[in-house]
Structure 1
Amino acid sequence: MQYIGIAADEPSRLERISGNKVSLLAKYSYTEAMARELCEQHGLLSPIYATGTRGGCWFCPNAKIDHFIRLRRDHFQLWLELKRLSRTPNLCSYGFKWGKTLEEMETMMDWEERQLKLF
């Protein structure tokens, strides 16, 4: 079973769920606002929300590369925590949505930052 974070108030996204995917947010009638509040209460809300349009959890393996670049640049302590957590035994996944490890992601981020500096 794959658990995905689609809120109860996102009907068009919920309609696209198929196969072995389930949204626990929808199952328990959690809206986006409720999920955000719960994340805030437990210190899980990404600081990226202060500078970006959407961030999710600061440690989300489905985040975009630029999200992780900003996280590493602006909140280096959280980046170090993510690196520490990536070495936890028995994780459900050791990769990101691209099938990359944290170390491989960091290399991709380095190349992306170099490219951005050229322009």
Structure 2
Amino acid sequence: MAAAGVAQAATLFECDLKTRIHNGWVSPKMAFVIEDDGGAKVIDGITLAFLDGPAEAKVTRRGDNLRINWTVANAKDDAGNYIPTFRYFANLNSATHAVSVVAKPAAYPQRWSAKGSCKIRDK
């Protein structure tokens, strides 16, 4: 009997971030699921509000540093204005677990950022 599928190995980083703006575009809590095949998922308050679940992300590895990129489309600000695309970038050091995150709306000069630390969660 053949196996229905092969489980992918993944690492879950649970992160606490210090944000300068309460209720801004970078959540104070984030989770990154880094899959061994190079894929990733990001879940936080923003993805839950606008995507109803995790965002698919792209990971670029350089030694211990992981560059994680994802987007959130059709977000709505507190004034009810739609932002077509928010681009997110995270730098996560897999050795020290330090993380920094930047959120930038496409075609706008503003940006939000936060720094913090992560811990690896077991299943």
TM-score, normalised by the number of residues in structure 1: 0.25
Structure having the larger proportion of residues in helix: 1
**Bigger relative contact order, structure 1 or 2 (CA pairs below 8 A, ≥6 apart):** 2
TM-score, normalised by the number of residues in structure 2: 0.25
